[in-house]
Structure 1
Amino acid sequence: MGIIPREGIFNMDCVVLLLKKSIFNPTLTLPIFLALQYTSHGQNLLSTLAASNNADIIKLMSRFKVLVALAVVGRVNHHLSKGSMNNWKKDVFTPNKEIVVVTGGSSGIGAELVRQLTKPGVNIKKVVVLDVQPLLYTAASNVASYKVDLSNPADIAAVCERVKKEIGNPTVLVNNAGICRGKNVLDATQKDIELTFAVNTTSHYYLAQQFLPAMIKVNHGHIVTVASAGAYVAAPQMVDYNSSKAAAQTFHEGIAQELVLRYNAPKVRATLVTQGYIKTPLFQGFQSDSKFLLPALEPETLVIEIVDAILKQESRHILLPRAYNFISGIRGWPTWMQNRLRGKTGKLMTNWHGKQVLK
């Protein structure tokens, strides 16, 4: 993502990005600090400033030291998190040898993901779309599409066998497909509930069972779980959706540990995506009252982050908009704060009329 987000400059993500690239960037601030502390010119300047007894300058220098410290701590934290998520093992993504599977790749986030993965110069061997509907766009020549009902384990198994036989063993699995029925708990039918969990959660298990063994065997691969920021905060008319996405997040956390602790495959990456409101047909009419903190995102904004993780062969937690970094810890908040936030979700789905592919 560039300095100025696609969603404009009047939002928190833009502010955070600007701060990270400026005063909280130790690459810029640390050399200045070291020069002031350990060079003769810097020491002379500090002595002159101290002798002036200017309270504002003294406060400014003190705050600058705090900023430098925070920037360094932030950079160290990022390094430790990155290393830990990738099990302190490096690996390389070789595009002309990689086969990427994208579920729900016919529209929305999945379609944008396919487009980004097949842009000129990326040169991925094959991108395979698994979806119940045909492609709604003209795809590149290295895209193959298979019709599959992700709510049906037998259909998943049969189609996956075809993919392995006709294309080869996938090295990247992006569990992106998702549905939302938009009903209150008492209005949801048995089919609504079972279908939501089947597509949003249990299909991840069946697809992993089909494709992960080959990745584990060569200790190379990547499984991407597209969950939702809704996994952190439930809302009316989304309880089944929120629950299924929370379960998908737990699936990611668990499979990441099993890859290391049970299958000795530390180079098979596991990326979690917990995105907020994305402008896709699935969430037409969704309302967000906080356009500054939680702006509606273009699919490309999210997808570029996912593609970057895939091409760099890195496990990541992609959480956008960035304000959700704060909200993700809601269950550790005082109860009154949790209830205050959840109490603001009542209007989110009032005018929702998302696209329903499965009836």
Structure 2
Amino acid sequence: MAIRFAALGATVVCVDINDTSNEETVKMIQARKQKAFKYRCDVTERSAVMQLAERVRKEVGDVAVLVNNAGMMPCNPVLQQTEQEITLMNKLNINANIWMIQAFLPVMVQRNYGHIVAMSSMAGLQGIKNLVPYCGSKYAVKGIMDSLAVELRSDPRDLSGIKLTTIFPYIINTGLCKKPRIRFKNLMKVVEPGEAADIIINAMRREYTEISIPQDLHYLNRYIYRLLPLEAGCTWMDFIDAGVDAHG
């Protein structure tokens, strides 16, 4: 996504806790004579995020597009997941979204201009076994973005220039999902990162409020799964038989 934003003329700010991969991304962009800056930040820490926002504003400028993409996915039955990994996951998958919004939204409000993109998941739209805490965190991302939209809309100031897009990926080939189980591979295919980036940026530029990856899953979930009675929906999911197996 960073590479594609840069190709569109954006000045890209890459934030990561992993210095090596962050440096690699920035160098790839700079090699194309495009603008990119790197910052190290543990986004689970609110104070660190606030300091990041201040540094970026002074050293680069106001942020017009915020992409909340950090996340982790423990994958085991709920009784086998540890307190430590669940706590860290919630700090990263939920709290970090709020800290980043609190840090970068004020400038967007001042300018009545900006776009926030949040990475939820298809696991934020329906329950999946081996992902109980993760599903909860991704449902939370949807809730954060939905309620933020209501809050911005109800503000007496005109904040119509601030756009929100929530992304609901199924499985993207980034290594996060280590043991995918897919019965109908043409319907529920694993998407390559480049294709996913194109879908996300296209959705943002078209100002879609939400989109799934693959895109057909949005309609499958909204107009088939959610309209069925509970038992019929469960039977449908049993037939599709897609999900993730435990890491062990």
**TM-score calculated relative to the size of structure 2:** 0.87
Given candidates 271, 282, 292, the residue that maps to 2:165 is: 271
Contact 2:63/2:104, CA 8 A, preserved across alignment: yes
CA displacement 1:161-218 (0-9 Å, x = unmatched):
2222221221110111111011221111222112111111121111111111111111
2:17 partner amino acid: V
2:217 partner amino acid: A
User: 2:47 aligned with 1:154, yes or no?
Assistant: yes
User: 2:36 aligned with 1:143, yes or no?
Assistant: yes
Q: Which residue of 1 aligns with 2:244?
A: 349
Matches of 2:211 and 2:121, distance apart in 1: 10
Matches of 1:280 and 1:240, distance apart in 2: 20
1:290 partner amino acid: F
**Where in structure 2 are the equivalents of 1:74-93 lying within 5 Å?**
none
**Where in structure 2 are the equivalents of 1:114-129 lying within 5 Å?**
114-119=2-7, 122-124=8-10, 126-129=11-14
User: 2:27 aligned with 1:134, yes or no?
Assistant: no
Given candidates 159, 173, 189, the residue that maps to 2:66 is: 173
2:198 partner amino acid: I
| 3-state SS of 1:118 partner | helix
User: 2:200 aligned with 1:306, yes or no?
Assistant: yes
1:225 partner amino acid: A
Given candidates 181, 184, 189, the residue that maps to 1:295 is: 189
RMSD: 2.1
Matches of 2:208 and 2:222, distance apart in 1: 18
1:162 partner amino acid: R
User: 2:138 aligned with 1:245, yes or no?
Assistant: yes
CA displacement 1:300-349 (0-9 Å, x = unmatched):
22211222244x36243221221342224534420112222454687733
Given candidates 271, 283, 297, the residue that maps to 2:177 is: 283
Provide structure 1 residue ranges, at least 5 long, that are not aligned to the other structure. Answer: 1-112, 354-359
Matches of 1:351 and 1:182, distance apart in 2: 5
Radius of gyration: which is bigger?
A: 1
Contact 1:287/1:351, CA 8 A, preserved across alignment: no
**Where in structure 2 are the equivalents of 1:1-359 lying within 5 Å?**
113-119=1-7, 122-124=8-10, 126-136=11-21, 137=24, 138-141=27-30, 142-262=35-155, 263-310=157-204, 312=205, 314-321=207-214, 322-328=216-222, 330-343=225-238, 348-350=243-245, 352=247
- How many pairs align? 237
User: In percent, how many aligned pairs have the same letter?
Assistant: 24
